[in-house]
Chain A
Amino acid sequence: MIHIRTILHCTDFSETAQQAWYVSQMLARDHCAKLVLVHAGESGASSFENEATAVDLVDSAYDRLRSMAEQAPELRVSFEVTTGKPGPAIVEAAQKWNADLIIMGTHGQTGLDRMIVGSVAEYVVRNAPCAVMTLKPGSGWALSQERSLEKPVRNVDVIS
């Protein structure tokens, strides 16, 4: 059986990432895994004013991650806000936290979104030290809605 001990959930706080968050929570529950929430914010701090804004952004990202973590009080959740290029930052975080699985949303093929988020997902898929699960808008949603109606088929396996 597959053992997932640590799941790294990447979020940009978009609707797509939010859908993937349900899948991350469910998988974490199924595997009694630890969840690490990562927001890879790209800070463009080049001047003083920008630096102040960047600090604000990081603070508000931490707040949002904290409130996400509070949604799942039964799970062990850590969170981190990274700065710098999102792709390498996510890969680095996966190494640091010794993740077994990275879960992230992709925006599919919609112009600029794909240029930005798609390329992050592609970078992560190519360079991740572990397995990567990508979810397009809608795909995780269908899965989680359908599943939430079901009763658990069997008990959670005891991790040896």
Chain B
Amino acid sequence: MLKFTSILHPIDLSETPQYSLSVAHSLARDHHARLILITVVAPPPPGVLPTEEMLIASETLSARYLRQAVNQLKAIADSITDVPVSIFGFIGLAGDVIIKVANEQNVDLIVMGTHGRIGFSHFFMGSIAEYVMTRATCPVLTIRPGASSHLGKTIETELVSSNK
């Protein structure tokens, strides 16, 4: 049988309900896999900030966003009790970071949504998903929100029951 031992999910914190997260979670449970959740915050844009103070301020802002995002990730990780979860937060370009983490952690599968944003990044998930699927060395599972399927229905029921 096909067995995934670690599944990477770049999380979209704005997505409600978190369909792609629940697919990643269910797959991790089915395969007894480790779930790796990552969030990426965009760095300050280079060369557009006129003064050093503003650059520092902008870097501080990125760091603050990262802290917020990681706190949200922690809360999500705490709510998942049936599979081992690792979380990572980065400042960087989402696509590059996802590929880097996937390679470093030797993941077997990347699960990602195609809409919404990742973390507090400027980048939309769709273009990131396309970037990732042409570069990842493992299979990439992409899920559009509202892609109504048996898969989705199962997940929804599961979400409700796991909230109890």
Contact = CB atoms under 8 A, between A and B. Distances in A.
Nearest to B20: A131
A18 interface: no
Given A125-B114, A128-B144, A114 B134 contact: yes
The interface size bin for chain B is 20 to 34
A136 B130 CA distance: 12
Q: Is the interface of B mostly helix, strand, loop or mixed?
A: mixed
A30 interface: yes
Interface in A8-47: 23, 26-27, 29-30
B93 interface: no
Interface of A: 1-5, 23, 26-27, 29-30, 99-101, 106, 108-109, 114, 118, 121-122, 125-136, 138-140, 142-144, 147, 150, 152-153, 156
Interface of B: 1-3, 23, 26-27, 29-30, 32, 108, 114, 126, 129-130, 133-144, 147-151, 154-155
Given A1-B26, A136-B133, 9 more contacts: A26-B2, A30-B2, A132-B143, A134-B140, A136-B136, A143-B2, A143-B138, A153-B1, A156-B1
